[in-house]
Every structure is written in structure tokens, then in C-alpha cells.
Copies of this chain bind each other. A is one copy, B any other.
Amino acid sequence: MTQPLYKVVIDTIVGRIASGALPPGAMLPSETQLGAELGVSQGTARKALSELEARGLVQRAQGRGTFVTVRTPESSLFNFFRLRNPDGSQTIPELVSEHVTRRAATDTEASKLYGTPRDVVEIERVRSLSGVPLVHEVSVVPLPLFAGIADRAPLPNTLYVFYQQAYSCIIVRADEKLRSIPAPAPAAAALGLDRDAPVLSVERIATDVLGRAVERRTSICATHGYSYFVSLS
């Protein structure tokens, strides 16, 4: 039941990235160096690096080297913000307002978030597309993992880039539940919608590279002139 060597290599590198020892943009050792350092052949080191590239954690370029993937606001939005123009082109959501508060976790929050936290931080935001407020978004993160985050408001537009830069917390996956519902009161008020206007409700659990459920986010989106894009395979 012993781990294959290439998986040991993968775990080693994931650990270095998750700990911040290898920050975004850092160059990794070459295949040969990595193999020598960890006592495996170049081919085995290569297999590990290729799998990390497939996971999106590093990027490789012939002649240049292997680098820890840098998350820019653009790449983060591309992956995790699915509201697009009808032709599929990106739209950048602007921040209209933000409220960051620290509070006790509800029972569901405690049960769904990593570490069953007693306290959480709630980030409530209204976002607009092309100047029109269309998204009401409430993100909840466990306080222990994000110590001091409430004092750093206002937060940057793209939270996942911020999580990585400030807390070495790398979001790699988001599981979402979508429903079509009449606009709930707080969202209707924030977005200036009729009480029963149809809106898209998106409930998200975001998971980091270590497999921890790190954020719970509920978004209410008015899809006027925009669409939520997904690709299934």
C-alpha cells in the first residue's frame, strides 16, 4: 500500500506551493534537478510535473522551465465567474458595494466549511456589469483560516487571487447548485428588481488545493442580457 514515487513527488511539490515556499510565478527545479533532489529518475520527475500541469497548478514551457501558475484577476474570472455576454465574450464585473462582517457561523455553515468553524467572516457584495447592478453575492469563509481578513476591507475585486496572495490558499475547484427563483427580498432591494423577477440563484462551495472546503458563496444574478456559461464533458 506504499505510494508510487511520482505521487510522492507530486505531494512534495503541492506542499511547497500550499505552504508558500513556492509562491506564484516561482520557477521550479528542472526535471533533472528535481529527480536528483528527491532520488528519482528524470522520467519520474517529469511524470509528476506533467500531472501538476494538467491540474493547472504549474505551467511548463519548452526552453523556459516550469513555473507556479500565477492567478491574475483575468484568469480567475475566466475560471470562476461564468456570467458572459451572449456571444460568450468575457465581461468584467465591477464592484458597487461591499460589507465585511465577522459573526458566528450558522449550523449549516459550520458543517459545510473546513474545520467546522465557530466564527466566520461574511463578505456581502453587489456587482455590476457594464454599469448595471446585476449580481448580489454573499461569501462566507471560516475565520481561523483567514485571520484578520475583516480588517483589510475593502477587499480586491477577485477574492481568489487575494486568498492565494495573502493566505497561500489556492482555490482549485468550485461546486455549484443553480436554481431559477423569484428574486428574494434583500437581493431585489440591492439590485432594484421587482419582487418576483426571475433570477439565477447560485450556491457555491469552493475547495482549495489541499481539498478543504474554504468558502461558501451564494450569488443572486439577474440574467438580463447575460448568460451563465458552462462546458460539460
Chain A contact residues, CB within 8 Å of chain B = 54, 56, 79-80, 82, 86, 172-182, 196, 198-200, 203, 221-223, 226-233
Dominant secondary structure of chain A at its interface with chain B: strand
Picked from B172, B177, B200, B222, the residue with its CB within 8 Å of the CB of A178 is B200
**Known contacts A198-B199, A199-B198: A231-B180 contact under CB 8 Å:** no
B198 and A231 contact, CB distance less than 8 A: no
Q: Residues of B contacting A82 with CB < 8 Å?
A: 232
Picked from B180, B199, B227, the residue with its CB within 8 Å of the CB of A177 is B227
Q: Residues of B contacting A203 with CB < 8 Å?
A: 227
Picked from B80, B181, B228, the residue with its CB within 8 Å of the CB of A223 is B181
Q: Residues of B contacting A86 with CB < 8 Å?
A: 177
Copies of the protein in its oligomer: 2
A230 and B198 contact, CB distance less than 8 A: no
Shortest CB-to-CB span from A172 to chain B, Å, is 6
Q: Residues of B contacting A223 with CB < 8 Å?
A: 178-181
Using CB atoms, name the residue of chain B closest to A200: B180
B181 and A198 contact, CB distance less than 8 A: yes
Shortest CB-to-CB span from A212 to chain B, Å, is 15
Q: Residues of B contacting A232 with CB < 8 Å?
A: 79-80, 82, 173-176, 230
Using CB atoms, name the residue of chain B closest to A84: B177
A79 and B180 contact, CB distance less than 8 A: no
Q: Residues of B contacting A196 with CB < 8 Å?
A: 196, 198
CA distance A204 to B80 in the complex (A): 20
Given A178-B230, A180-B200, A182-B198, 10 extra CB contacts under 8 A: A56-B233, A172-B233, A173-B232, A175-B229, A175-B231, A178-B178, A178-B223, A179-B200, A179-B227, A180-B199
Picked from B179, B181, B228, B233, the residue with its CB within 8 Å of the CB of A79 is B233
